[in-house]
A and B are shown apart, each in its own frame.
Chain A
Amino acid sequence: MIEHFSLDGKRIPFQPGQTIMDAAMQAGEYIPHLCHNPEFRPRGSCRLCVVRANGRSVAACTSPAREGLEVESDTPDIQADRRSLLQMLFVEGNHLCPACEKSGNCQLQAVAYYCGMLAPDFTHLYPVRELDGSHPDFVLDFNRCILCELCVRASRDADAKGVFGISGRGIGAHLIVNAPSGKLGDTDFDPHDRAAQVCPVGAILPKHKGYDVPIGRRIYDRKPVSLVGDVADHQEDMS
């Protein structure tokens, strides 16, 4: 028997074991997210997909769907929370969109557009972070990493390599590379790795392709992420 829950009043069918996010995606309903990619085990860390389920705030990507659950997602207060979370992600790193090759193909931007964020008006933290150009085909720009761990999961689970990891904690948490030098060029990272294709922002970038597609004609330039989907589904548009 197919069970159902409601998402902003719509009836969403699901199979046992599915999360709210799984079922919503399958039904073509969009819940904002950054660290989620159905290919990998959900993580629930960006908190963008927090919804209210029977009155309780939960992450849609990690919460099991249940029969009769009443889920609210697209409400003014939840969207306002999402804008605050996005603003936190923007001020935490150095996201200078006009100077970023990923601009227009960036899911952080896209979700921020979708949620109506006009400016990250918290205090900017301007962390001092590195840029690693050691790899022949890829640049790793730590300034833009939002710690979604998609590359970590992809490299570990899909590529069986473990090129990436996280060290530090709290506001000092940061992406690391599995090499004594800490350099991507000293790992077995390869352009064909799944990990090379999942970064939602401009942190893992292919070299020599920066502006092949001009600004204005990129994935999110004309249509919102709710219609065109995640960056990871659009590799062909970027390389």
Chain B
Amino acid sequence: MREQQAKKVRVATCSLAGCFGCHMSLLDIDERLIDLVELVEFDRSPITDIKEVGPSDLGLIEGGVCNAENVEVLRAFRRQCKTLVAVGACAITGGVPAMRNHYPLHECLDEAYVNGLGVQDGGIPNDPELPLLLNQVHPIHEVVKVDYFLPGCPPAADTIWTFLEQLLSGKPVEFAYRQIHYD
């Protein structure tokens, strides 16, 4: 038992261009969370204070890639995580944020910062601290290699649990019909 604890699986998670809904779903596994904490320890994640991702066994990525910072974080996750999982519709297809792919970026920026309702003395921000937006939003598999995909908006807690349980116990990952949905 002690030995097992010493070999806890290290999990890192993050939300790129997402809404944290997938993270909420992860927490939604309710009392199984307790089982989970027995099995895993968390590296960088919204539920820890760790700022930079360190060597981890499993990386769970929520959200698509919409700006330069997303790219950097995603690449750091890929470098540090043995297994990387795209969690949720946005990570897998760009999702709702990708609806802006219909418009040239400058139109989106103008709409938000210059012409938008209620904007006064608008101007497109040029603060070097702000990450620049990419011309289009991309699913994460177009930026790094992805090992698993967990669809859903968000994926059901049950789906996430099934996945983690199977993966951590080394079983082949398989889902029941109702566990897979794209919405």
Contacts and interface: CB of A to CB of B under 8 A. Distances in A.
Interface of A: 90, 94-100, 103-104, 109, 112-113, 116, 118-121, 123-124, 126, 128, 215, 221-224
B93 A99 contact: no
A113 B181 contact: yes
Given A96-B98, A97-B153, A120 B92 contact: yes
Binding site secondary structure of chain A: loop
Contact of B183 (A94, A97, A126): A97
Contacts of B59: none
A113 B177 contact: yes
Nearest to A128: B102
The 10 closest A-B pairs by CB, nearest first: A119-B149, A98-B153, A97-B182, A103-B183, A118-B149, A126-B101, A119-B92, A97-B183, A121-B141, A98-B183
Interface of B is mostly: mixed
A123 B142 CA distance: 7
B1 interface: no
A119 B180 contact: no
Interface string B6-39: 0000000000000000000000000000000000
Contacts of A96: 89, 93-96, 98-99
A215 B156 CA distance: 13
B151 A119 contact: yes
**A96, A109, A118 interface centre (most CB from chain B within 10 Å):** A96
Most chain A beta carbons < 10 A, residue from B146, B150, B153, B181: B181
Contacts of A90: 93
B95 A98 contact: yes
Interface in B70-115: 86, 89, 92-96, 98-99, 101-102
B183 A124 contact: no
Contacts of B180: 113, 116, 118
B139 interface: yes
A121 B182 contact: no
Interface of B: 86, 89, 92-96, 98-99, 101-102, 136, 138-139, 141-142, 146, 148-151, 153, 177-178, 180-183
A90 B149 CA distance: 15
Contacts of A128: 102
A106 to B, nearest CB: 9
A191 to B, nearest CB: 25
Contacts of A123: 142
A124 B99 contact: no
Contacts of A222: 178
28 contacts: A90-B93, A94-B98, A96-B93, A97-B89, A97-B182, A97-B183, A98-B95, A99-B96, A103-B183, A109-B183, A118-B148, A118-B149, A119-B93, A119-B149, A119-B151, A120-B93, A121-B141, A121-B149, A124-B98, A124-B138, A126-B94, A126-B98, A126-B101, A126-B136, A221-B181, A222-B178, A223-B177, A224-B177
